[in-house]
Structure 1
């Protein structure tokens, strides 16, 4: 990795650990809670300790004035829940577009095992080639999703490990994927690639569930999180961001992180 790419990676993380909050969901699910007044949400989560925020390029002007010095990642594909196939992610921009929007890094989503796998492999390969020309890091959101993949199966972590390895093979610098449920199974995923692996948050759960998941992932060797709805849809995005950052960056327990962030429920 060259100096320029390394410098930009440092803008979206801290000491090779990452708390990224993706908020590209306006394309996928619309202007939901936390995204209507995205300016206030970005201000809160970055004050809470998020290293970087992620959006589509069209709202970059709503991001930069409110991110308190945090990094910025531009997401470059998408789909909607009201369209014919949410898994059919299509490209929404180029690396040059992202640079013009002030991005420190770019990202894209691919579903390994889906009927759209071939096209998304091609898209990621083209994206990493273009990004390399500009020394821009690539965050690949590589999920094991498809008709033959069962998240409840005992060997689900093998499919997730395959997905993250595919992303590395295609040139990704940081890889996001789904958590496999416990630290022991997730260790295989982390060991499947030499690149840092961060976990997705998925649908929002309780604060305790969120922090337990982050703690488990870190114990399994993760480099952090790329967690959207669990953070930006929270009643207090700043506090939950602070709690997540405490686990990722300070190695706090879930219980201590909740307490320190002011989220612990008193007995």
Structure 2
């Protein structure tokens, strides 16, 4: 790995572990809670210990003054919930666009198993080639999604993360299989660091137990959006997630340290 890519990877993580908060949902869902005043949200989550935040390129000028030294990732494809097919992610930028936006890394979403998989494979392969020319790390959001696919099946998730590595990704995000034992198979499917998506929003304790399970399985952290940026206290929940990822804290202890009451 060249020095530039290694340096940029350090900016989006701490000691090889990652707490990334994606906030590209405005293109997908519109100006939802937590994203209208995205400046305050970014201030809170980075103060709480997020290693990096992620948005589409057009939000860059609203990100930099508020990220408190955290890393910045620009996402390069997208779709909407009101369009004909949310799984049909289309390109929204280039690596050069991301560089001009001040990014430390780029990201790309691929739905492995969907009818759009062939185009997305080609696009991700092209993106990693372009990114490598600039020493730019690529976060691949590789999900197992398509007709007849169980999105939490560890075999399907393992295939998705391996595909991402084969195409040149540096960090790979995927869904959680539901428990540490099965997720270990996913982590072992690739030599690259694996981070989990946030999934459906549950209680704070459920969220932290999920993160704890992933870390116990060998994950490198999370790329967690709505469970953090739509929380009533984004700074506190970020601090709790950070305690699990970076301090190896148990879930309940992490909640207590962050000033959040463990829910029953």
TM-score (norm 2): 0.99
Among 167, 180, 184, the alignment partner of 1:183 is 180
Long gaps (5+) in structure 2: none
Task: Please give the alpha-carbon distance, in whole angstroms, between the structure 1 residues aligned to 2:17 and 2:263.
Answer: 31
Deviations 1:87-139, CA, capped at 9 Å, x for gaps: 00000000000000000000010000000000000010010000000000000
SS of 1:114's equivalent in the other structure is: coil
Partner of 1:198: 195
The Cα shift of 1:202 comes to: 1.8
SS of 2:8's equivalent in the other structure is: helix
For the structure 1 residues 128 and 182, does the alpha-carbon distance in structure 2 shift closer, same or farther, using more than 3 Å as the test?
Answer: same
Task: Please give the alpha-carbon distance, in whole angstroms, between the structure 1 residues aligned to 2:217 and 2:23.
Answer: 26
In the alignment, structure 1 residue 263 sits paired with structure 2 residue 260: yes
In the alignment, structure 1 residue 117 sits paired with structure 2 residue 117: yes
Partner of 2:40: 40
Q: What pairs up with 1:134-173 in 2 under 5 angstroms?
A: 134-151=134-151, 156-173=153-170
8 Å CA contact retained: 1:157, 1:180 = yes
Moved more, 49-58 or 204-213: 204-213
8 Å CA contact retained: 1:77, 1:91 = yes
In the alignment, structure 1 residue 95 sits paired with structure 2 residue 127: no
The Cα shift of 1:209 comes to: 0.8
Long gaps (5+) in structure 1: none
In the alignment, structure 1 residue 66 sits paired with structure 2 residue 66: yes
8 Å CA contact retained: 2:143, 2:151 = no
The Cα shift of 1:251 comes to: 0.1
The Cα shift of 1:205 comes to: 1.2
Task: Please give the alpha-carbon distance, in whole angstroms, between the structure 2 residues aligned to 1:201 and 1:266.
Answer: 18
The Cα shift of 1:148 comes to: 2.5
For the structure 1 residues 150 and 165, does the alpha-carbon distance in structure 2 shift closer, same or farther, using more than 3 Å as the test?
Answer: same
The Cα shift of 1:150 comes to: 1.9
For the structure 1 residues 253 and 38, does the alpha-carbon distance in structure 2 shift closer, same or farther, using more than 3 Å as the test?
Answer: same
In the alignment, structure 1 residue 104 sits paired with structure 2 residue 104: yes
Task: Please give the alpha-carbon distance, in whole angstroms, between the structure 1 residues aligned to 2:262 and 2:202.
Answer: 15
For the structure 1 residues 259 and 171, does the alpha-carbon distance in structure 2 shift closer, same or farther, using more than 3 Å as the test?
Answer: same
Partner of 1:85: 85
Aligned-pair Cα RMSD in Å: 1.0
Task: Please give the alpha-carbon distance, in whole angstroms, between the structure 2 residues aligned to 1:197 and 1:214.
Answer: 12
Partner of 1:25: 25
Task: Please give the alpha-carbon distance, in whole angstroms, between the structure 2 residues aligned to 1:73 and 1:204.
Answer: 23
SS of 2:109's equivalent in the other structure is: strand
SS of 2:240's equivalent in the other structure is: helix
